[in-house]
Amino acid sequence: MGEHTVSSFDQELDEIGKLIREMADLSSAMVGASIRALVDADQGAAQRVISDDAVMDARQRELDDRSIKLIARRQPMAQDLRSVLGAIRMAADFERIGDLAKNVAKRVGAVGQATTPTALSHGILDMSHLVLRQIEEVTHAYIERKPEVLPGLRTGDEAVDRRYTSIFRELLTYMMEDPRNITPCTHLLFCAKNLERIGDHVTNIAENAYFVLTGQQLPAYRPKLDETGMVLSAE
């Protein structure tokens, strides 16, 4: 994107871009910290994630406010307009990722009080690594203006779906073997579902980033490999 005649216009666009990067970094940190708190049964770390959600919400409000004012003052067109509208959309997805990380953190206390097999929590830890890599790669592709990377990142959500299906089946087996596992495994199942939903939000970000950078839409259809057959509300 070339520089504008009015330098303050570029500064306003840069500030919006900076907020997107900050929200991306914070969302990644919240996801990683919530899963570590879950695995370590660290209630203090979980509370810090819950507190960080207020910071995330504040950054989204600031980005929305800056974007609306920029549109009103500058009346951007073409790529500039795509950048602003895309930033608003991506910010909404990063904010939802923060909410889902907070939801995981809220279950740390309940899971930590139970005698759940450690291997189950570590399965979710492995799943979180896939999701965190998605967040890092989609953010890097957007900042470095590499739209050619984004279609592959969108389809990469299939790996997260497969991992979720595997965890679902494993947790269901533990529930069937011993009724005492039902409560902690249910909490872990919701945590895994939150991670699966985070993967969906990352694919939304990839789609919006691709539109911002190219002016073109990715195909509407994208495969989903969640084979659990159960509707779990992670919102």
Instruction: State yes or no: pLDDT of 7 exceeds 90.
Output: no
pLDDT of residue 235: 47
pLDDT band for position 166 (50/70/90)?
very high
At 98-151, the pLDDT tens digits run: 999 999 999 998 887 665 556 677 889 999 999 999 999 999 999 999 999 999
Quote the pLDDT of residue 233: 47
Tell me the C-alpha to C-alpha distance, in Å, between residue 73 and each of 8, 83, 203, 216.
Answer: 11, 16, 31, 26
Spatial separation of the C-alpha atoms in residues 60 and 54, rounded to whole Å: 10
pLDDT per residue over 10-69, tens digit each? 899 999 999 999 999 999 999 999 999 999 889 999 999 999 999 999 999 999 999 999
Give the DSSP per-residue string, 162-190. Answer: HHHHHHHHHHHHHHHH-GGGHHHHHHHHH
Percent of the chain scoring above 70 in pLDDT: 87
Segment 70-109, tens digit of pLDDT: 999 988 888 899 999 999 999 999 999 999 999 999 999 8
- Residue 231's pLDDT band (cuts 50, 70, 90): very low
> What sign has the CA pseudo-torsion 93, 127, 137, 212?
negative
Which CATH class, in words, describes the domain spanning 8-214?
mainly alpha
Segment 154-159 shows an average pLDDT of 86
Rg (CA), the chain: 19
